[in-house]
Amino acid sequence: MDLVAVKADLQAISQARILFAHQSVGRNILDGVRDLVRETGVTLRIERFDEGTQAPAGPGLFHVQVGRNGVPDTKIASFGQLLASDGGFDVALLKLCYEDVARDAQGQDGLLGRYESMVSQVSAASPGTRLVHVTTPVRSQAPGWKTPLKRLLGREIEGDADNALRNAYNQSLLARFGDGKALVFDLARIESTLPDGRRSSFDHDGKPVHTLAPDYTDDGGHLNEAGRRHAAAAFVRTLAQALQRQPAG
């Protein structure tokens, strides 16, 4: 990690007003940002506010836990309402949870379409806000010798189908908003990219399904110290890049 570059990114975003709507993996990323702030000595205001209230005035990285895990429409609606009532953010992003894209998630069908609809409404109502789109985080494979043995025998492994759904959603989101069309914080890619550049994955129907690298987690879903620092560096880089773009309006 290039701490000189990280420091420059932190300095850039410290002067902006940023909204980050999230749940638990978002807390991990923010803890990583705090780690980087301490290492670089940059002064960055990181402040939480409650859902249903207004974010504080002035510059800062303001974050709020929105909706309920497993019910992604509650998060999309809350994020849209936040920006409808306060269009004064320079950058805003909503991170869904891995529980929001899974077989037992409520309202998963047509999820990207409903997200797109909210984005269109927010872009029209708050043209000065740069929206950053976020891929859904993934989970790690079950550790131990049983997992490769089950794969060899062609047996279903707990969590594989859900990770396949998350990968499919992320591919659709990247097809819609990636390739320079808009700025994307590809959290799933960051989580699955090992320190040596390889990606943690398994094959499903002849296609790779990317998973959270074991180096970055202690419980299979959340980020440990190494993971949160790795994700935080990419997070502040993406925010700094967003500030270099012209707002939609």
Give the model's confidence band at 248: pLDDT under 50 very low, under 70 low, under 90 confident, else very high: low
Flag whether 249 is in a domain: no
Predicted confidence at residue 202, as pLDDT, reads 85
Structural domain tally of the chain? 1
Residue 22 belongs to domain spanning: 3-243
Flag whether 248 is in a domain: no
Predicted confidence at residue 142, as pLDDT, reads 64
What's CA 3's distance to the chain center, in Å? Answer: 22
In tens, the pLDDT along 180-195 reads 778 999 999 999 999 8
Percent of the chain's residues with pLDDT above 70: 92
- How many residues are there in the chain? 249
Flag whether 230 is in a domain: yes
Distances (CA, A) of 157 to 104, 120, 160, 184, 219: 16, 38, 6, 30, 17
CA 69, 50, 120, 210 torsion-angle sign:
negative
Flag whether 96 is in a domain: yes
What gap in Å lies between CA 193 and CA 196, rounded to an integer? 8
- Above 90 in pLDDT, residue 151? no
Flag whether 104 is in a domain: yes
In tens, the pLDDT along 13-48 reads 999 999 999 998 999 999 999 999 999 999 999 999
What gap in Å lies between CA 13 and CA 54, rounded to an integer? 20
Look at 231 and 179; give whichever has higher pLDDT: 231
Dihedrals phi, psi of 65, to nearest 5 degrees: -90, 120
In tens, the pLDDT along 190-217 reads 999 998 999 999 887 778 999 999 999 9
Predicted confidence at residue 144, as pLDDT, reads 56
Flag whether 115 is in a domain: yes
Distances (CA, A) of 206 to 164, 175, 202, 209: 12, 20, 9, 9
Q: Residue 17: which H helix or E strand, with range? A: strand 17-22
Flag whether 216 is in a domain: yes
Lowest mean pLDDT among 16-20, 104-108, 121-125, 228-232: 104-108
Indicate which CATH number applies to the domain containing 227: 3.40.50.1110
What's CA 143's distance to the chain center, in Å? Answer: 24
Flag whether 89 is in a domain: yes
